[in-house]
């Protein structure tokens, strides 16, 4: 949303914006209440979300405990970035500022397969903390992790 707003500022410089150019803003404002609610739930439950992901990962891969400290730090950062992307409806910023950087690291240490498990579990866990309406907005953002990081 912020990028779209910045682009509109440049495109409509010296003129009034057309209705079709303002549609993204209307859509955002219509979903703002749900976005804010989901953001607050994720923020306030971040520790519980990370713990639930740890438990889910431990069930899938018993060796996960050996490197959980590093994974936990990265997961906390990723959840924070995802929550911000949800709040501002800005998946592109998440992709370019966080995920592409993290993808480089994941590939260099060859833990893409582990990422697949982590972000599948995260996508399942996040739904348990949100209403179905909030999850509908949040899941594409969390699923982007799976697409980019695997």
Please compute the mean of the pLDDT values over residues 39-60 and round it to a whole number.
93
CB 60, CB 117: distance < 8 Å: yes
Q: Which ranges constitute the DSSP H helices of 61-130?
A: 68-88, 91-94, 100-108, 112-129
- The 3-state DSSP class for residue 1 equals coil
Domain boundaries defined on the chain: 32-149
Q: Which CATH architecture has domain 32-149?
A: Orthogonal Bundle (1.10)
Of all residues in the chain, what percent carry a pLDDT higher than 90? Answer: 47
pLDDT at 106: 73
pLDDT at 16: 94
CA atoms within 13 A on the CB side of 35: 18
pLDDT at 98: 80
């Amino acid at each position: 949303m912020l990028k779209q707003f910045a682009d509109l500022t440049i495109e409509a410089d010296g003129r009034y914006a057309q209705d079709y150019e303002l549609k993204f803003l209307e859509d955002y404002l219509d979903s703002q209440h749900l976005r804010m609610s989901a953001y607050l739930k994720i923020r306030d439950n971040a520790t519980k979300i990370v713990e639930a992901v740890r438990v889910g990962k431990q069930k899938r891969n018993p060796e996960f405990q050996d490197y959980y400290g590093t994974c936990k730090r990265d997961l906390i950062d990723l959840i924070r970035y995802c929550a911000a992307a949800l709040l501002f409806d800005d998946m592109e910023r998440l992709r370019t500022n966080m995920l592409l950087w993290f993808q480089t690291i994941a590939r260099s240490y060859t833990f893409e397969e582990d990422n697949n498990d982590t972000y599948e579990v995260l996508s399942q866990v996040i739904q348990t903390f949100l209403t179905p309406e909030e999850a509908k907005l949040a899941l594409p953002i969390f699923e982007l992790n799976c697409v980019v990081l695997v």
